[in-house]
Amino acid sequence: MLEHLNTLKRTPARVVVMGAGGFVGGALAARLARDGVPILALGRREIDLLAEDAAERLAAMLRPDDAFVAVSALVPCRNSEMLVKNMIMAHAMVRALVASPVAHVINISSDAVYADSSGPLTESSCTAPGTLHGAMHLAREVMFRVEVPAPLAILRPSLLYGARDPHNGYGPNRFRRQAQRGEDIVLFGEGGERRDHVFIDDVAEIAAQMLLRRSKGEINVATGEVHSFREIAEKVVRLAGKTVAIKGSPRSGPMPHNGYRPFEITACRNAFPDFRYTPLEDGLARAQREMQAKDHRG
């Protein structure tokens, strides 16, 4: 669960976003900049976390009154080589935070840390990942929790979507691009899996609120609603306004997460009672408009 150390919202002296060039880090940096929050945006060009001197270089940049957001990771983690590299990157961040302690740390994790469950997931659900991606995120969580001295918040988002997603993963992000190009959308099976999809701006907003409240503990970022991949594909095609076929395909294995992965979001509602998640239809429409505007700009 999440605990707010600041009774009233207070702007951090500075927020260091490690991974600001990525999907989540970029959205958070943009959200903070909108409110004039001082930011040190770091990406691979500024610090390569796989370099031998990464921890020392990062530590030299940190101040005692900083808030630090750990976003950098190689994702999705598909194999053992990527797992090892992710551990090296996490180790560099942890070493820097031990050498130069800061006032607050947020680690961006994933719902992949949870074991499959027949019922809705909560922050107290069993963390027993069945994938290398989930194992990577859980190992990061433990590293930060055990070694970093600052108050730590762990943010675990469900499936993310938005116009700037770089991974083109199966779901809203890939479907939207296929529909825009007039390509058929091919589903796994008949697209019957039901998952919780979160608009990227909602993740950035919750992380920003955690920084203002200097929150610690764990929080899931999920809407509390599930939608099938076929339903999402149909919505995307309607928004694109193009003639695009939605086709099923033979499965090569069982449905991931048994085809159903809901969340119970009482903890998030209690922590941020004024926050409302973006409805799926609205989020898909916004992502569509942003993608079209980007294409128009060239």
Return the percent helix, strand and coil in the chain, to nearest 5: 40, 20, 40
pLDDT of the residue at 105? 98
Phi/psi at 203 (nearest 5 deg)?
Answer: -65, -45
CA atoms within 13 A on the CB side of 59: 15
pLDDT of the residue at 297? 61
pLDDT of the residue at 296? 58
Kindly provide the b/e burial profile for residues 60-91, where b requires at least 16 CB atoms within 10 angstroms of the residue's own CB: eebeeebbbbbbbbbbebeeeebbebbeebbb
- Non-local (6+) Cβ contacts of 286 within 8 A are 163, 199, 201, 278
This prediction's pTM: 0.95
**Please, are residues 111 and 98 in contact by the beta-carbon 8 Å criterion?**
no
pLDDT of the residue at 256? 81
Structural domains in the chain plus CATH codes: 2-160+199-224+263-277 (3.40.50.720)
* pLDDT tens readout for residues 56-76: 999 999 999 999 999 999 999
Q: In this structure, is the dihedral angle defined by the CA atoms of residues 229, 233, 234 and 239, taken in order, positive or negative?
A: positive
Q: Which of 100-104, 167-171, 239-243 is predicted most confidently?
A: 100-104
How would residue 254 be classed by pLDDT, with cut points 50, 70 and 90? Answer: confident
Q: Does the bond joining 64 to the residue before it have cis omega, within 30 degrees of 0?
A: no
* Pairing of β 14-18 and β 39-42: parallel
Residues in the chain: 298
Amino acid found at 277: Y
- Cα 90 to Cα 28, 50, 63, 222: the distances in Å are 19, 9, 19, 24
* pLDDT tens readout for residues 199-209: 999 999 999 99
